[in-house]
């Protein structure tokens, strides 16, 4: 008789306070055209749409979807959507799982699982700064001749 696999540990409830702080921080950046706190279509997330002026033509949308939990687990998903119909995505995660260490990165171009194990700072501000720095490098690379 085989044993049923155990359910993965819960990430817990969203941390509304940190999500609100993240939204406030992102609204203070010129990178973003629109920042939504827990919109109806994503009530457990902050959605931040980049100002497309930072990108070359051919990109219809570039955005972050950030979820943060009371357990300090998180998921920060970045995606670019192209006019020709394809996309480019990556994701920074901290959560219990069976495919990587608790802290890991799902690499582009499709945020494939499994990802690579990483270590993140404890404070949400440092995590966010790391992600934004890496994305700034991605955006800067569009403009290097």
DSSP collapsed to 3 states, 10-28: CCCCECHHHHHHHHHHHHC
pLDDT of 8 reads 44
Asked whether residue 4 is domain-assigned, the answer is no
Structure tokens belonging to residue 50: 């980049």
Query: What is the C-alpha to C-alpha distance for residues 115 and 73, in angstroms, rounded to an integer?
Result: 16
- Summarize pLDDT for 57-100 with one digit per residue, the tens: 899 999 999 999 999 999 999 999 999 989 999 999 999 888 88
Asked whether residue 104 is domain-assigned, the answer is yes
Asked whether residue 78 is domain-assigned, the answer is yes
| Maximum separation of any 2 CA atoms in the chain, in Å | 62
Asked whether residue 76 is domain-assigned, the answer is yes
Asked whether residue 95 is domain-assigned, the answer is yes
Domain that holds residue 90: 16-142
Asked whether residue 5 is domain-assigned, the answer is no
Asked whether residue 25 is domain-assigned, the answer is yes
Q: Hey, how many other C-beta atoms are within 10 angstroms of the C-beta on 103?
A: 17
Statement: the pTM of the whole predicted model exceeds 0.85 = yes
Give the number of domains in the chain: 1
Asked whether residue 2 is domain-assigned, the answer is no
In the predicted model, is pLDDT for residue 9 greater than 80?
A: no
């Amino acid at each position: 008789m085989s044993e049923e696999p155990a359910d993965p540990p819960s990430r817990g409830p969203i941390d509304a306070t940190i999500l609100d702080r993240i939204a406030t921080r992102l609204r203070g950046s010129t990178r973003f055209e629109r920042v939504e706190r827990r919109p109806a279509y994503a009530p457990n997330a902050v959605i931040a749409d980049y100002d497309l002026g930072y990108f070359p033509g051919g990109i219809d949308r570039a955005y972050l979807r950030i979820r943060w939990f009371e357990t300090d687990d998180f998921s920060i998903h970045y995606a670019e959507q192209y006019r020709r119909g394809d996309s480019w995505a990556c994701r920074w995660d901290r959560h219990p799982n069976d495919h990587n260490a608790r802290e890991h990165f799902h690499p582009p171009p499709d945020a494939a699982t499994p990802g690579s194990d990483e270590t993140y700072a404890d404070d949400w501000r440092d995590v966010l700064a790391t992600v934004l720095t890496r994305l700034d490098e991605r955006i800067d690379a569009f403009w290097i001749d």
